[in-house]
Amino acid sequence: MSDNEKKLSWLSAFDMMLNGTALGLGKNHWAKSLWLKFAIVFMVVGPMFECIDAQDYAGAMPPEAPMIKATGTFIRYIGYAGVKEVSYIQFNADNGMTYRTQHSVVPAELDDLGGLKSPIKVYVEGFLLKNGGGSFYPLKLTTLNGVDLASTDKLMKSLLIGRNPFYIGKLEALFFIALVLWGFSFFYANQLRRFDSKRRDKVRNAKG
């Protein structure tokens, strides 16, 4: 009997792991089979979550979106989404307007400003994401004397990365996690194939 005939196919091994019948993996076969189930789920859920996160940055950008130019202070607040605490940064403009930026889209520089115990007054230019229905996003951030508090190029880059669910940096993280999950899946599937091959050898030898 050839090696190909002796060994269980990869497809059959995966099928046994999915159906909970991979007894050849030992008494913890169900736990080892979870690697394959997690790998399959992650292939769908991972990209889906990236697309959902990118929606927070969606909508028109300047010059199509109206620019907001004002002076004021950024302050971090704690709100609630149901019973869960959620932090956000709010810009309290000197003209009485307030603009909120949810934590998921807050640039690092803005997060630092919002966390100051003694807020400082700044000049900001930005716009509202999601066609006016989303968070306030700054594109220029300076002191009242015109000293940059954040690089405009860096703020724009962060915005463009956030809008792109297929940015290479995000995909690298997804690929790494997928590689680990599929690596263990193939490892245990191969163990199952080897076990089946040995079992068949025993049956063949017993018959001989």
pLDDT tens track for 59-101 = 999 999 999 999 999 999 887 766 778 889 999 999 999 999 9
Same domain flag for 85 and 43: no
Same domain flag for 157 and 64: yes
Q: Do residues 22 and 13 touch, judged by C-beta distance below 8 A?
A: yes
122: tokens are: 């700044």
Q: Do residues 92 and 71 touch, judged by C-beta distance below 8 A?
A: no
Give pLDDT, residue 4.
45
What single-letter DSSP state applies at residue 21? -
Sheet of 122-128, strand order? 98-102, 84-93, 68-81, 122-128, 136-143
Number of domains in the chain: 2
Rounded to whole angstroms, how far apart are CA atoms 173 and 11?
27
Same domain flag for 147 and 69: yes
Give pLDDT, residue 118.
87
Residue 125: beta bridge partners?
Answer: 69, 140
Average pLDDT, the chain: 88
- DSSP characters over 58-114: -S--TTTSPPEEEEEEEEEEEEEETTEEEEEEEEEETTS-EEEEEGGG--HHHHHHH
| Amino acid occupying residue 70 | A
Same domain flag for 78 and 136: yes
Q: Tell me which residues of the chain have a pLDDT lower than 70.
A: 1-6, 81-82, 198-208
Give pLDDT, residue 186.
96
Q: Is the pTM of this model over 0.85?
A: no
Specify the CATH number for the domain of residue 117: 2.40.50
Cβ within 8 Å of residue 88, ≥6 positions away: 76, 77, 79, 100, 101, 102, 103, 106
Same domain flag for 153 and 66: yes
Same domain flag for 44 and 68: no
Same domain flag for 150 and 172: no
Same domain flag for 43 and 67: no
Burial of 91 (0-12, 13-18, 19+ CB in 10 A): buried
Rounded to whole angstroms, how far apart are CA atoms 173 and 49?
13
Same domain flag for 77 and 156: yes
- Coil, strand, or helix at residue 125? strand
Helix axes 29-54, 152-163, angle to 10 degrees: 120
Give pLDDT, residue 199.
67
Same domain flag for 77 and 50: no
Same domain flag for 146 and 196: no
Same domain flag for 67 and 26: no
Q: Residue 187 is part of which domain span?
A: 3-54+168-207
